[in-house]
Amino acid sequence: MLSKAFTARAHTNIALIKYWGKKDQELILPMNSSLSLTLDHFYTDTEVYFDQALKQDVFYLNEEKQNVSKVTQFMNIVRRQAGLKVFAHISSTNHVPTMAGLASSASAYAALAMAASQAAGLQLSRRDLSRLARRGSGSACRSIYGGFVEWQRGHDDQSSFASPIEENTNWNICMIAVVIDKARKKISSRLGMQRVVETSPFYTAWMKSTERDLAAIKEAIKKRDLKKVGTIAEENAMKMHALNMSAHPHFSYFEPASIAVMHLVELLRSEGICCYYTLDAGPNVKILCSVEDSTRILDRLAARFDKEQLLVARPGPGVHLINKK
């Protein structure tokens, strides 16, 4: 017997205020609250159906069969919630490089949360979907919503979820992703942040200053103040990367080309163009700017990078079903 198949599409999100550290590894409760922008250009489509004939979950990513351990752990949470004992067939396509610091885990687990819960017969509210997605990957709880999204850290499984700040933002902003390297990162986000929490002497300072950054950026978003939003986001990202360099053993996601892009953004700023950078757990740089300025910035980047390495994303939508069979 097969259940109905459900396919969900979730877009990635890039944090302007970073989530970097867990206080509970099992429940994925973060040390600090965070804030992100969901992007239209990058997304994951995931189809799920349950099949009584299966002896274990089957998981295909980009048409290749994968080891199921992490996905099965997640599916066990769905099965427990639905009172199901049947395994599932999961097939996912990433329209985003996998594990390259472009937030594939965010779109992946948001899409899986929606497709799997629907196939299991659960009708979850968006808040409960956000809580479920969080169990797969912290950043995924924010991809349930479109536009600007805040993840309030909360203090337990019930209270830690994301909420939309402006779902359908009409702000004319975009993010240029400079894809320096599509390869999988050497240190996963999970491992990187854990090492930082355990060993960086600056961690307490990070938490305090991130709380201030979060309050300030929310005000600046309300006022459509790109200069302020960009400055806070750029500084917050650099504080996160400083934590990595202060860990033991220390590490960094920067590549020489990442630094070159950061310098170029600073140069463009000195020429009067309002643009700011942010980097996640990978070498790729994301540049926040107005749609109006994006062509000039792209022209300058084109001197150094191929067209295929320069992707322009606009605010994107929350998770949704794309078909019902």
Contacting residues toward ligand ADP, per CB under 6 A: 44, 61, 70-71, 92, 94, 98-106, 108, 112, 137, 188-189, 281-282
Q: Is 105 or 244 the residue whose CB approaches Co ion more closely?
A: 105
* φ and ψ at residue 258, rounded to 5 degrees: -65, -45
Q: Is 268 or 285 the residue whose CB approaches ligand ADP more closely?
A: 285
Q: CB of residue 269 vs ligand ADP: minimum separation in angstroms? A: 26
Half-sphere exposure of 117 (CA within 13 A, CB side): 23
- Which one of Co ion, ligand DP6, ligand ADP, none is in contact with 200 (Cβ closer than 5 to 8 A by kind)? none
- Residues 6+ positions from 160 with CB-CB distance below 8 Å: 27, 28, 29, 30, 131, 134, 141, 151, 152, 153, 154
Stretch near ligand DP6 under the rule CB under 6 A, chosen from 18-26, 41-49, 66-74, 306-314: 18-26
Give the x/- contact pattern for ligand DP6 in 127-146, rule: CB under 6 A: ----------xxx-------
Interface with ligand DP6 (CB under 6 A), residue from 5, 8, 10, 15 = 15
Q: Is 190 or 296 the residue whose CB approaches ligand DP6 more closely?
A: 190
Interface with ligand DP6 (CB under 6 A), residue from 32, 92, 107, 189 = 189
Verify binding: residue 105, ligand DP6, rule CB under 6 A. Answer: yes
Contact assessment for residue 129 and residue 122, using Cβ atoms and an 8 Å cutoff:
no
Which of these, 107, 91, 151, lies nearest to 317 by C-alpha position? 107
Q: Cis before residue 249, ω within 30 degrees of 0?
A: yes
Which of helix, strand or coil describes residue 87? Answer: coil
Interface with ligand DP6 (CB under 6 A), residue from 18, 79, 89, 241 = 18
The one-character DSSP state at 20 is -
Stretch near ligand DP6 under the rule CB under 6 A, chosen from 14-22, 87-95, 178-186, 222-230: 14-22
Which of these, 19, 51, 58, 52, lies nearest to 35 by C-alpha position? 19
Full DSSP string of 115-178? HHHHHTT----HHHHHHHHHHH-GGGGGGGS-SEEEEE--SSTTT-EEEEEETT----EEEEEE
- Which one of Co ion, ligand ADP, ligand DP6, none is in contact with 18 (Cβ closer than 5 to 8 A by kind)? ligand DP6
Residue corresponding to tokens 């993010």:
175
- Which one of ligand ADP, ligand DP6, Co ion, none is in contact with 301 (Cβ closer than 5 to 8 A by kind)? none
Binding site for ligand DP6 (CB under 6 A): 15, 18-20, 28, 34, 103, 105, 137-139, 189-190, 280-281
